[in-house]
């Protein structure tokens, strides 16, 4: 989509209300999730950005105070848009859930006292994931006014972005139904898992994968997409992060890769501008060019693998100053220009 042609409804993911963002560790998945939230919040919308691993990655990215299990505004976007942040805590989610559906009162306190809450949130397998996603599910469905119901009632959030676990664990994390299937065959945990699964597999949800143009992250992206498809999760786009500009022309790259750049020409040019053309500097520059050519060739291979996935692909530049709150805005604008939000 051409930059500047974006209207309110004209993006690649119209109708999606939950954007799940995953990626290999170190690919910048939190950064991308943050940029996407900010991008979605443009044009005056309200967006929730949630993390589930208690890493405080969101607050560090936006340079705000650590997030709690209460939603807090962390950024403003264009035309009055707002991004809220939430660090989902399994324990708080369980207590809230118990309070909402069971009005447990004294039993709630006792559960806590006897260690049942710890048990359910850290030890009982699958239950933890159901609780974490359950909180996100609740936020996606929440209405602005407490008692408002029906399709006409305004949503509390226009979109929710989930900074999900890394690629290696994401399919299992999202496949909550399977996780609890053998354990809780009936009962509220089971029906909660069923409703969550229905939403996750609906057109309201997409799972985006963040990668770098390197072999391992790309391989994990391919694997994760296959795993997500196998469990019936809707695969969204691929975000290629930290793309560095190619400084050498294709021709120069080829010459560099063959180590065929003329040493003498480079040395002569350097002398013309009074750079000391020592062997160390000339050889160093040539070595850098060769390494660069090698890396560009590998990146090219990686890009081919990504193209073969045939998913909408977005490219984010490597920010020379590192990622801070301003950098996130720059990345958000890039995502908007490329039609992701």
At its nearest, how many Å lie between another protein and the CB of residue 5? 31
Identified binder of another protein from the candidate list 216, 226, 230, 307, rule CB under 8 A: 216
Q: CA of 164: how far to CAs of 111, 129, 136, 168, 306, in Å?
A: 28, 11, 11, 11, 21
129 with 169: CB under 8 angstroms? no
Instruction: Tell me the site size for another protein, rule CB under 8 A.
Output: 85
Q: Is 172 in the site for another protein (CB under 8 A)?
A: yes
In the complex with another protein, the residue whose CB is nearer, 114 or 154, is 114
Rounded CA separation 33/20 (Å): 8
Q: Is 9 in the site for another protein (CB under 8 A)?
A: no
In the complex with another protein, the residue whose CB is nearer, 29 or 45, is 29
Q: Is 230 in the site for another protein (CB under 8 A)?
A: no
Span of 39-47, 75-83, 107-115, 227-235 interacting with another protein by CB under 8 A: 107-115
Residues numbered 119-138 forming contacts with another protein, rule: CB under 8 A: 119-120, 122-128
Q: Is 27 in the site for another protein (CB under 8 A)?
A: yes
CB-based contacts of 167, cutoff 8 Å, min separation 6: 22, 23, 24, 209, 220, 221, 223, 224
Compute the CA torsion angle 181, 187, 188, 191 (nearest 10 deg). 50
Rounded CA separation 11/4 (Å): 12
In the complex with another protein, the residue whose CB is nearer, 72 or 319, is 319
In degrees, rounded to 5, the angle at the alpha carbon of residue 257 between the alpha carbons of residues 252 and 258 is 100
Residues numbered 290-309 forming contacts with another protein, rule: CB under 8 A: 291-292, 294-295, 298
Q: Is 319 in the site for another protein (CB under 8 A)?
A: no
Residues numbered 64-103 forming contacts with another protein, rule: CB under 8 A: 98, 102
Question: Which letter does DSSP use for residue 308 in this model?
Answer: H
Identified binder of another protein from the candidate list 185, 250, 308, 310, rule CB under 8 A: 185
Identified binder of another protein from the candidate list 189, 224, 328, 340, rule CB under 8 A: 189
Identified binder of another protein from the candidate list 3, 66, 188, 232, rule CB under 8 A: 188
- Mapped onto helix, strand or coil, the DSSP state of residue 282 is helix
Half-sphere exposure of 77 (CA within 13 A, CB side): 27
Token pair of 221 as six digits: 């992206």
At its nearest, how many Å lie between another protein and the CB of residue 270? 7
Please count the helices (runs of H) and the strands (runs of E) in the chain. 14, 8
Rounded CA separation 264/270 (Å): 10
CB-based contacts of 22, cutoff 8 Å, min separation 6: 29, 164, 165, 166, 167, 170, 207, 208, 209, 210, 224
Identified binder of another protein from the candidate list 78, 231, 281, 325, rule CB under 8 A: 281
Rounded CA separation 57/74 (Å): 13
Rounded CA separation 209/191 (Å): 29
Q: Is 54 in the site for another protein (CB under 8 A)?
A: yes
Identified binder of another protein from the candidate list 283, 300, 307, 326, rule CB under 8 A: 283
Rounded CA separation 227/5 (Å): 35
Cα first-last separation, the chain: 11
At its nearest, how many Å lie between another protein and the CB of residue 324? 9
Identified binder of another protein from the candidate list 80, 262, 300, 326, rule CB under 8 A: 262
In the complex with another protein, the residue whose CB is nearer, 42 or 85, is 85
Identified binder of another protein from the candidate list 3, 25, 44, 80, rule CB under 8 A: 25
In the complex with another protein, the residue whose CB is nearer, 61 or 338, is 61
Identified binder of another protein from the candidate list 92, 243, 285, 305, rule CB under 8 A: 285
Identified binder of another protein from the candidate list 65, 148, 154, 275, rule CB under 8 A: 275
At its nearest, how many Å lie between another protein and the CB of residue 41? 23
């Amino acid at each position: 989509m051409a930059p500047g042609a974006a209207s309110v409804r004209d993006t690649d993911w119209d109708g999606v209300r939950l954007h799940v963002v995953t990626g290999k560790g170190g690919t910048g998945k939190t950064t991308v999730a943050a940029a996407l939230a900010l991008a979605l919040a443009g044009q005056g919308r309200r967006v929730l950005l949630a993390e589930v691993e208690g890493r405080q990655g969101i607050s560090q990215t936006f340079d705000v105070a650590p997030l709690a299990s209460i939603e807090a505004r962390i950024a403003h976007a264009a035309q009055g848009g707002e991004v809220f942040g939430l660090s989902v805590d399994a324990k708080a989610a369980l207590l809230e859930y118990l309070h909402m559906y069971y009005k447990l009162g004294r039993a709630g306190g006792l559960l806590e006292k006897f260690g049942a809450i710890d048990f359910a949130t850290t030890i009982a397998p699958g239950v933890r994931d159901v609780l974490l996603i359950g909180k996100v599910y609740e936020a996606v469905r929440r209405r602005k006014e407490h008692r408002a119901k029906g399709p006409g009632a305004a949503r509390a959030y226009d979109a929710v972005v989930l900074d999900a676990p890394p690629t290696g664990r994401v399919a299992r994390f999202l496949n909550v139904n399977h996780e609890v299937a053998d354990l809780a065959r009936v009962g509220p945990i089971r029906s909660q898992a069923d409703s969550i699964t229905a939403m996750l597999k609906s057109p309201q949800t997409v799972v985006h994968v963040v990668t770098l143009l390197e072999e391992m992250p790309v391989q994990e992206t391919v694997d994760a997409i296959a795993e997500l498809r196998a469990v019936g999760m809707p695969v969204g786009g691929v975000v290629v992060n930290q793309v560095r500009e190619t400084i050498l022309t294709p021709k120069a790259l080829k010459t560099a890769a063959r180590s065929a750049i003329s040493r003498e020409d480079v040395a002569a040019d350097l002398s013309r501008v009074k750079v000391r053309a020592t062997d160390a500097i000339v050889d160093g520059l040539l070595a850098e060019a060769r390494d660069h050519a090698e890396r560009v060739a590998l990146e090219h291979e990686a890009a081919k693998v990504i193209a073969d996935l045939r998913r909408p692909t977005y490219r984010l530049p490597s920010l020379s100053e590192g990622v801070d709150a301003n950098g996130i805005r720059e990345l958000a604008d890039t995502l908007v220009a490329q039609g992701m939000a």
